[in-house]
Amino acid sequence: MLKPEIEDGQTRLADPQFRADVLAGLARRPRAIPARWFYDHRGSQLFERITELPEYYPTRTETALLHAMCGELREMVGTGRAVVEFGSGSSTKTPIVLECLAPGAYVPIDISGDFLRESVRPLAQRFPELLILPFEADFTRPLTLPRTIEDMPKLGFFPGSTIGNLIPLAAIDLLRAMRASLKEGAMLLIGMDRIKGEDVLVPAYDDAAGVTAAFNLNLLERINRELDGTIPVEAFRHKAVWNDDRARIEMHLEATENAAFEVEGRAFDIAAGETIHTENSHKYGPRDARILLRAGGWTPVREWTDPDGRFAVILAEA
């Protein structure tokens, strides 16, 4: 049954796709639930805290990079494009790019209308002259952008190495969908996390303060809250491992003892040592990143990295 949930003062129904993904994901072997379900209200707050952790280098590295590269970026991209951000634009990176490029319009695309409206408000205040056109849509499929920006060349913006959440097949599909949406003459500015030593990668996803553990475990709490679950959260522990063959960090929730529970009236058993796979974070070497972009229909034209080569921001054209 769908159950109304009280969250930040509003009554909601559990997302039917969340329900379907959780029930199917717990039933399959290996068990796996897509990472997109981390981001309920509490999960989004915990992710904010992750971006400020000393071990989590991606956000601060990319932010510094965007500041440092602004002059060169402006030269290559010009002013007057429509910046189309894939994701709600609630990050601190959005104003850096808007400040730098003085675009003709800004179009944040997100599947959650609530997140969109929340993120647009402070941007509208900070950039009163800017035409902001929030667009509620699923950007994993090609979409028709607002008529108002039809004649403006587009710059897609996809920061944060969010592309890394997808397996390469899905990443290529997404890049192609973006190309179809943005049309000819478009450019894309995308952040990708680089391959590096496990000594840096693993702590970034398993921090000393336990914030990433709480972020991962919150998924079980969300299932209990929204899907009438009885999962004993204390019987699970956060695990982050580097999968070298696939060049990705994997996050899992490992059962530390045998457990039996229900979700939406369905019974599940998990044995001690078994895991639920909750996230992939793929890392790309310089050539890997360029091949991925080309496979998705984009030609890399310029890239910027920090002095330690931890993170790359790549500019590509359609």
Please report where in the chains the tokens 């992939």 appear, as a residue. Answer: 280
Question: Of 90 and 281, which CB lies nearer to ligand AVJ in the complex structure?
Answer: 281
88 counts as binding ligand AVJ under rule CB under 6 A: no
164 counts as binding ligand AVJ under rule CB under 6 A: yes
Cα angle value 45/107/52 (rounded, 5°): 25
Site for ligand AVJ in 28-57 (CB under 6 A): 50
- Nearest Cα residue to 58 out of 170, 160, 155: 160
Question: Of 279 and 317, which CB lies nearer to ligand AVJ in the complex structure?
Answer: 279
User: H or E element: which one contains 31?
Assistant: strand 31-32
89 counts as binding ligand AVJ under rule CB under 6 A: no
Residue 72 contacts residue 100 (beta carbons within 8 Å): no
d(CA 195, CA 286): 9
Q: How many CA atoms lie within 13 A of 294 on its CB side?
A: 8
d(CA 263, CA 229): 4
d(CA 96, CA 65): 10
Return the bridge partners of 261, or none. 268
159 counts as binding ligand AVJ under rule CB under 6 A: no
Q: Which stretch binds ligand AVJ (CB under 6 A): 137-145, 150-158, 162-170, 303-311?
A: 162-170
218 counts as binding ligand AVJ under rule CB under 6 A: no
Tell me the closest approach of the beta carbon of residue 205 to ligand AVJ, in angstroms. 5
Q: Which stretch binds ligand AVJ (CB under 6 A): 11-19, 25-33, 138-146, 157-165?
A: 157-165
205 counts as binding ligand AVJ under rule CB under 6 A: yes
- Nearest Cα residue to 238 out of 211, 213, 210: 213
Q: Which stretch binds ligand AVJ (CB under 6 A): 3-11, 100-108, 125-133, 155-163?
A: 155-163
Residue 183's contacts (CB-CB under 8 Å, 6 or more residues apart) are 154, 318
Return the bridge partners of 215, or none. none
Q: Which member of 91, 212, 218, 275 binds ligand AVJ (CB under 6 A)?
A: 212
For the stretch 4-12, contacts whose Cβ atoms lie closer than 8 Å and that sit 24 or more positions apart, written own/partner, are 5/225, 5/226, 7/40, 7/41, 8/41
161 counts as binding ligand AVJ under rule CB under 6 A: yes
How many residues contact ligand AVJ, by CB under 6 A? 11
Question: Of 94 and 162, which CB lies nearer to ligand AVJ in the complex structure?
Answer: 162
Residue nearest to ligand AVJ (CB): 281
Query: 3-class DSSP state for residue 60?
Result: helix
207 counts as binding ligand AVJ under rule CB under 6 A: no
281 counts as binding ligand AVJ under rule CB under 6 A: yes
91 counts as binding ligand AVJ under rule CB under 6 A: no
Question: Of 94 and 165, which CB lies nearer to ligand AVJ in the complex structure?
Answer: 165
165 counts as binding ligand AVJ under rule CB under 6 A: yes
Question: Of 228 and 288, which CB lies nearer to ligand AVJ in the complex structure?
Answer: 288
Tell me the closest approach of the beta carbon of residue 119 to ligand AVJ, in angstroms. 15
Cα angle value 128/130/134 (rounded, 5°): 105
Q: Which stretch binds ligand AVJ (CB under 6 A): 23-31, 135-143, 160-168, 175-183?
A: 160-168
Residue type, 24: A
Tell me the closest approach of the beta carbon of residue 130 to ligand AVJ, in angstroms. 25
How distant is the alpha carbon of residue 86 from its chain centre? 9
| Beta strands 248-255; 275-282: pairing state | antiparallel
Query: Any alpha helices (H) in 184-285, and if so which ranges?
Result: 198-204, 211-226
Binding site for ligand AVJ (CB under 6 A): 50, 58, 160-162, 164-165, 205, 212, 279, 281
